[in-house]
């Protein structure tokens, strides 16, 4: 996965609702491999800003990989500078700087039966998963989609068409808060109980995801069949020169260091073994002064990343041996951590040998 940013032309801007737009990028043939993605992944986009030069934001791909499209869907938020700029200003022919696809909110088997929960604009990655599962898979798909009212339902027409085309495999349940109130954990659990053998994916506002996830845990959904996506607004600039970004990060890290935070960090030579995109790497001189992402970049490893701040899952890996400590984490929950998932952009060593895999 490349970490270089690219200028992509906007091929189309589609009005989904009053406050939501789908943006279709034109990806030239020479970049098709670089921008290959799996359903549920996201793009990091640079939105122009008069105040900071740019605002970096992660937006999920709502298109299915096999469609040949690269489409993100953005919903306006009240205080969201980037989302408001996109909805109000972006038009076909414009260009934006974009990082290649990232993210781990992805199904391992498109032939599985899926129980999908979406709230508001959380439908974006869920739509990509649903389309892929229906059009390329063989299992059943059930979608529980919560919105404020009927006018705020993104992809209403497309969902209706999919239920008609795949009547024997696709079920959509719309929940309108204006009519039914907020769905409770008990109501969500009762609904999910009918699909206890399915693989669940959840995306939406934090309270909604918490309620769904709690309901799934109560029902005994195992970790491998329970997936949650969340984003935190990026404050840094993943599009700047690497040296510039690393210097800014070092200043921030130096300012934020706590006396007890570094006690467990190994400062001597650490052995690092990495599995990435079918290749294996081995090094034996990580001193622990750099976070693992910086160390791998210095070794010429094309390690994935997006925000560099611990606010997205683009750099996530699984620690197979040894352990690291993360300086910051806004995206991994307790279950992720228990499964050995760590953010490479925030990782420092606490053992003398680390073995990680980006392959899951």
Task: Provide φ and ψ at 216, rounded to 5°.
Answer: -65, -40
The answer, yes or no, to whether residue 76 has pLDDT greater than 90, is yes
> 172-186, 214-228, 296-310, 326-340: which has the highest mean pLDDT?
172-186
**Domain 242-357 is found in CATH 3.40.50.360:** no
* Residue with token string 């996201």: 42
Q: Where are the domains of the chain?
A: 6-102, 114-229, 242-357
By three-state DSSP, how is residue 144 classified? strand
Strand order of the sheet with strand 341-343? Answer: 279-286, 270-276, 353-357, 316-321, 341-343
Strand order of the sheet with strand 6-17? Answer: 53-60, 42-49, 95-102, 6-17, 20-26, 71-75
Please state whether the predicted TM-score (pTM) of the whole model is above 0.85. Answer: no
Whether 153 contacts 145, CB under 8 Å:
yes
What architecture is the 114-229 domain classified under in CATH? 3-Layer(aba) Sandwich (3.40)
Q: What is the mean predicted confidence (pLDDT) over 297-326?
A: 87
More confident residue, 145 or 328: 145
Could you report the per-residue pLDDT of 81-111, keeping only the tens digit for each? 889 999 999 999 999 999 999 888 899 999 9
More confident residue, 121 or 56: 121
Confidence at residue 241, expressed as pLDDT on a 0 to 100 scale: 44
Look up the CATH number of domain 6-102: 2.40.30.10
The answer, yes or no, to whether residue 347 has pLDDT greater than 70, is yes
Q: What is the mean predicted confidence (pLDDT) over 132-141?
A: 98
Q: Looking only at Cα atoms, what is the longest distance across the chain?
A: 62
């Amino acid at each position: 996965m490349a970490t270089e940013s690219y200028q992509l032309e906007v091929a189309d801007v589609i009005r989904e609702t009053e406050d939501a737009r789908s943006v279709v990028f034109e990806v030239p043939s020479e970049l098709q491999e670089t921008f290959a993605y799996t359903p549920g992944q996201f793009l990091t986009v640079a939105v122009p800003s008069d105040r900071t030069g740019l605002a970096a934001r992660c937006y999920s791909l709502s298109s299915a990989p096999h469609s040949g499209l690269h489409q993100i869907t953005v919903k306006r938020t009240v205080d969201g500078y980037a989302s408001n700029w996109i909805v109000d200003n972006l038009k076909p022919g414009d260009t934006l700087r974009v990082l290649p696809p990232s993210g781990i909110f992805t199904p391992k088997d498109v032939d599985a039966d899926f129980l999908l929960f979406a709230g508001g604009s959380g439908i974006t990655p869920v739509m990509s998963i649903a389309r892929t599962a229906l059009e390329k898979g063989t299992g059943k798909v059930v979608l529980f989609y919560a919105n404020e009212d009927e006018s705020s339902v993104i992809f209403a027409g497309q969902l209706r068409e999919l239920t008609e085309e795949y009547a024997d495999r696709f079920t959509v349940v719309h929940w309108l808060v204006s009519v039914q109130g907020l769905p409770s954990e008990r109501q969500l659990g009762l609904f999910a109980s009918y699909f206890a053998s399915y693989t669940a994916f959840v995306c939406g506002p934090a309270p909604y995801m918490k309620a769904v996830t709690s309901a799934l845990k109560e029902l005994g959904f195992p970790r491998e069949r329970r997936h949650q996506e969340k984003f935190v607004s990026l404050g840094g600039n993943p599009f700047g020169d690497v040296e510039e970004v690393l210097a800014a990060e070092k200043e921030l890290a130096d300012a934020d260091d706590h006396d007890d935070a570094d006690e467990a960090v190994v400062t001597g030579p650490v052995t690092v073994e990495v599995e990435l995109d079918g290749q294996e790497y081995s090094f034996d001189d990580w001193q622990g002064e750099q976070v693992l992402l910086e160390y791998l970049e210095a070794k010429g490893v094309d390690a994935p990343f997006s925000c560099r701040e611990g606010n997205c899952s683009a750099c996530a890996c699984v620690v197979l041996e040894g352990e690291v400590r993360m300086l910051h984490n806004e995206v991994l929950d307790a279950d992720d951590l228990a499964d050995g998932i760590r953010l490479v952009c925030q990782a420092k060593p606490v053992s003398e040998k680390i073995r990680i895999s980006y392959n899951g």
